Structure formats: C-alpha cells, structure tokens
Amino acid sequence: MAYIYEEPSRTFSEYLLLPNLTTKDCVPENVSLKTPILRYRRGETSPLYLNIPLVSAIMQAVSGDRMAVELARSGGVSFIYASQPIADQAEMVKRVKNYKAGFVVSDSNLTPEHTLKDVLALTARTGHSTIAITADGSPTGKLLGIVTSRDYRKGRTPLEMKVKDFMTPFSAMVYGKEGLTLSEANDLICEHKLNCLPIIDEQQNLCYLVFRKDYTAHKENPLELLDHHKRLVVGAGINTRDYRERVPALVEAGADLLCVDSSDGFTEWQYETIQTIKKEYNGEVKVGGGNVVDKEGFLYLAEAGADFIKVGIGGGSICITREQKGIGRGQATAVIEVAKARDEYYQRTGEYIPICSDGGIVHDYHIVLALAMGADFVMLGRYFARFDESPAPKIRKGMTYVKEYWGEGSNRARNWARYDLGGEEKLTFEEGVDSYVPYAGKMKDNLDLTLAKIKSTMCNCGALTIPELQQKARLTLVSPLTLREGGAHDVILRKETDHDFS
C-alpha cells in the first residue's frame, strides 16, 4: 500500500505567532528585510540579496516589464513570464535593464488620426491621462504631439473629433533631447511648469517621458535593487522544452537570474535543464528550480545545482492542481519540511540554498509565517495582479473595478510547458482558472502597507532580521473557534454611510 503521512498537511491559516519580548530598539524603522536569493557557501555571501523578501510570480497576468521595474525599485524582483515567444520575453528583459529612473517608455500612444473616443478608451484602460501622439502610434515613433485632459472637455468635445484637431502639436511643446540627465530634465519641468517632458532623439522619435511626479518617487525608493552597472535587477522564467534557445536570448538581454517555471519540479526534465545550464555557462548563469513540497524533492534539485528552490504545489488562488489531480500539500507543512531539509543540507555540505514559498498567501501576516517557518522569500501572484503595474487589463464590473487574473494552467494562458510530462505539446486539461481580483491601485501604496505590517509583526516577535525571526519565532496551531475569535465578532460593524450625529 502507499506510504501515508499520519499528520495532516497544514496551511498558514492554521498557525499564529506568539509574541516575544519587544525591546526598546525593536522598532519597525530598525528592521531589515534583506534576504539571500542565490546559493552560497559557508563563510561567503550570496551573489544577490533582495532588499525585501518578495518576488512576483512567473505569470502572464502578473510579471511584465512594468511590474519588474516597479518591484525592483522597491527592493524585490519580478520573473518575466516565459509563456510567450522568446524574442518578446527577451525584449521585456531589455526594457527593464535599459530603464533609467525617471525616464519612462510611454505605454499610452495613439496616432493623429485616432479620435477622442479612442483617447477616452485608452485612458480608461491604462488609467493614464497623458497620451503621446506619434506618427505610427508606437512608443518610439516620430513625436507629433501630446494629449492630456486639458486638451479636451468630456461631454463638450465631439467623440468623433480626430486627435490632430485638439492635441498639443509638437511645435507648441517643450521637449528634451536624448542624453539629458534626470536633473536637467527636472529643471526644464520646473522652469516651464510642466507635468510631463518628452525626450526625443535627433530624428524627433520619442524616447522617454519624464513626469514631475516621478522625481519625488525616485527619491522615495532607497531600496532599489541594482546590479553592478547600476541597472535594475530582473529575473525571467524558462521551461524544460525550449530552454536551449530561450536561455541564450535571456542572458544576452541581461537577465540577472532565471527560474524553471513548473508546477512539479521533482522531474528528470527539470534536473537535466538545470544541470545543462550550469555546465554550458560554467555556473555563471543563476537558475532556480521548483516546485517541490518535501525533502526528497528539495534534495533532488539541490544536487542538480539549483541556486534557489521554490516550494508549493496547488496552493495558489487560481491553481486547481489539487482538484484536478489530487497532487499537492498544505503550504505551511511543505515549507516547514523543506526548510529542515535545507538546513540539514547546509550542515552537511556547507552550501546554503535559499527557498521560496510559492502560494497559499491570503493575508499579509502569512508572509511573516512563511519566513518564520524557514522561507527566505515569498513569491506572490494574486497580490501583485491587483495593481496598476500588472499586465492584466483593468475592467469595470458593476460599481467597482477589477483586474483580470488567470492561471498559467488555464486555457487562456495555454502554458502547457509548465505542466509538461513529456507528451504532446498541448494542454490536455486545465490546472488553473480564469478570474478577477479587486483592483487595488498603485503597487507602491499597497506594498508600503504590507511591509509596515511585516516589520511590525517581526517587532512583536522580538526580531530585527529574517534570520533572527527564524530563530526566535514561536508558532501555535489554532482551532476553528480561535480563527473566529481573531476577527471582529459579536458586534454590528459601522458602514461608511453611517454618521455620528451626537
């Protein structure tokens, strides 16, 4: 008969942290969330550290180049999704590596022949009120004008009016030439009282837009994750089918680290993929593996040479692998067992392999639980899919806005390579769903709140660093009644429409 674990596998929601002594120096501003992401030997340091323990999932609806830029500026890393043509993924990586803080590649563009109706539709889709008007409607075409909300009046300007008839033409614009520094660009913005300054090349082609608001934002990102050339750090996903062609393109584009994107990493295909990359690039190309849920899976990928290992099967909010195949494990139990295996491996070999908890995060405090249980960092999909920076469309549903969010195993994504079992190149059945998540606005506003909660919780545990948290944290299992007791109960909650007239 099959081997049966006597203890049930558990989720993060089944645990709570117990407070430890909070000393006077244990305050949020003293907490460091720096954490290693790549394998290193005892007595050495990791080749790369995250400044916050969060990375975005390798998903079409989550990790595009815009998300990669904003998350790296906040101290984390995005893994550009692999379920797209190699050239397109490499181009996304290049855009991140070529990004200059404050210099934005325009993602809202139209031609002079478009109409106000097109302007309003584009603004509703992107949330951006500044639209660059180029000859071909591309972000790098010849700049002919610009449209902002000041150029038209909703309800007064006819929807059929062409852009060329109400845009601010190039002849009336203030612009900068390519090679301008950010400081010089901001001087022009202040001098001419602009909200946006286009940067063009010698042929009048649009290169970047510099916004007044981004100058302040640049000063507010002290945790930016940069490489040795002061460029933003970016990761990229790969699969076990076309990696021989995909990896060289991503490396040439400048990807700092790779990750094999698979629902089940305990396979010979993944072992071979990681080993081949390590041999062909003499260990210089860093690549993570996964996903696994136990000691055996961890050790298998550790021996393959994985630089980090992802933990979790079936715990994602859009994942139905457990329903479809009965494969998986409660995320908390999986992290606890793999973390023990990681520590044993470190003691035995002197090599530390960071582990990433992937899936099962419902509340912000679950991130702290994952770290306390031994994870070095956490991969999030649903969390990041809600923000402006994700590639997914924002649409209106009823009286509110949502973002579309679909799994890589859904028919929409068609990412059969992620669930590859060596057969035909097709998705036989779905292991992910197509859904919506509540729209939450800008990433930074939400991320700052999440990080504040993480730091505050760590202070309650008497820890100023993640390693200290892992040493000091005390966890207790909770009952269903404990969960009920932990939320608001036995009261009538006030609604926003309620008023106090006393």
Question: What are the residue numbers of the active site?
Answer: 319, 418
What is the H or E stretch that residue 276 is in? helix 268-280
Tell me the C-alpha distance between 332 and 361, whole Å: 10
- Residue type at 501? F
**H or E element in which residue 406 lies:** strand 400-406
E strands, 220-373, are: 235-238, 257-260, 287-292, 309-311, 351-352, 355-358
The torsion defined by the Cα of 431, 263, 364 and 36, in degrees rounded to 10, comes to -170
Judge whether 77 and 225 are in contact, CB under 8 Å: yes
127 sits in the region (left: phi over 0; alpha: psi -120 to 50; else beta) called left
Paired tokens of 97: 């590596």
Do residues 34 and 51 lie in contact, with contact meaning Cβ atoms separated by under 8 Å?
A: yes
Q: Which amino acid is residue 332, in one-letter code?
A: A
Q: Would you list the DSSP string of 57-124?
A: -S-TTT-SHHHHHHHHHTT-EEEE-SSS-HHHHHHHHHHHHT-BTTBB----EE-TTSBHHHHHHHHH
Cβ(234)–Cβ(93) below 8 Å:
yes
3 state DSSP class of 494: coil
- Partners of 206 in beta bridges: 200
Are 449 and 363 within 8 A, CB to CB? no
171-201 as b/e: b if 16+ CB within 10 A: eebebbeeebeeeebbeebeeeebebbbbbe
Q: Within a 13 Å sphere around the CA of 14, how many CA atoms are in the beta-carbon half? A: 11
| Proportion of the chain in helix, strand, coil states, percent, rounded to 5 | 35, 20, 45
Report d(CA 429, CA 263) in Å as an integer. 14
Closest CA to 52 of 376, 358, 390: 376
Task: For 464-497, give one letter per residue: b (16+ CB within 10 A) or e.
Answer: bebebbbeebeeeeeeeeeeeeeeeeeeeeeeee
- Strand ranges across the sheet with 394-397: 394-397, 400-406, 434-438
